[in-house]
Amino acid sequence: MKFIKVRAIVEGYAEGPALISKEPISFYGGIDPRTGVIREKGHPLEGKTVKNTILIFPYGKGSTVGSYVLLSLAKHGVAPKAIVNLESEPIIVIGCLLAKIPLVDKPQEDVFKILNDNENVKVIANKENAYICIEKR
């Protein structure tokens, strides 16, 4: 087991397969709000779905309407189970708060090096003590 300390922004607990993007994600226009499929042309995750994943990306970009898209994903049951950012910005913070998706940022280790797609990840986001947990090494 390996634990990586993070900052909890939206509290909660989640567990699921990692979906990793080294590129920022634009939720508005970049993700279908009804299916959760990433449709931004040329994005490394194009064609994949965020549904039930632990979605890991540096930060959000693009229109602030992205907050509404996160909420819509949750309503249609296709939201990620949790989000891990390097540094969260208001689009993602507001979206996760509204949609009640656990959100953490500022991991103290390089998650892009340590984690692989589909690897099982636990996100434990308590205000005082937040970390992500993986099962290897």
Partner 1 sequence: MFLSREEELMLDGEFGEAVELAARVVVKVAEVLGASRLMPIKSAHISGISYKNIGDAGLEFLKELTEKNAHFRVPTTINPAGFDFNKWQKMKIDDKFFIKQCEIVNSFSKMGARITLSCIPYTFNKPAFGDHIAWSESNAVLYANSIIGARTNREGGPLAIFEAIIGRAPYMGLHLTVNRQPNIYVDFTEVVKVGFSPSLLGYTLGVLVKNGVPFVKPTSFLTNIEDIKLFLAAVGASSSIAMVLLDKYSPEAKLNRYKLETLEKITVSISDVEMSKEKISKALDNIDAFLIGCPHLSCDEIRKIYLFLENRRIIRRLILFTSRDIIEKNKSMLERLEKSGVEIYADTCMVVSEIANLGLKNVAVDSAKAAYYLTSQGYNVSLLNRKDILESVSGDYP
Instruction: Report if residue 35 touches partner 1, rule: CB under 8 A.
Output: no
Pick the closer one to partner 1 by CB: 52 or 64.
Answer: 64
Instruction: Report if residue 94 touches partner 1, rule: CB under 8 A.
Output: yes
CB 13: neighbour CB atoms within 10 A? 12
CA distance 131 to 96: 17
CB 67: neighbour CB atoms within 10 A? 22
Q: Per CB under 8 A, which region of 40-48, 64-72, 109-117, 118-126 contacts partner 1?
A: 64-72
Q: Per CB under 8 A, which region of 13-21, 44-52, 84-92, 115-123 contacts partner 1?
A: 84-92
Q: Where are the beta strands (DSSP E) in the chain?
A: 2-10, 12-20, 54-57, 82-85, 103-105, 120-125, 130-134
The verdict on whether 63 is a catalytic residue reads: yes
Site residues (vs partner 1, CB under 8 A): 9-10, 33, 63-65, 67-69, 71-72, 75, 88, 90-91, 93-94, 97-98, 105
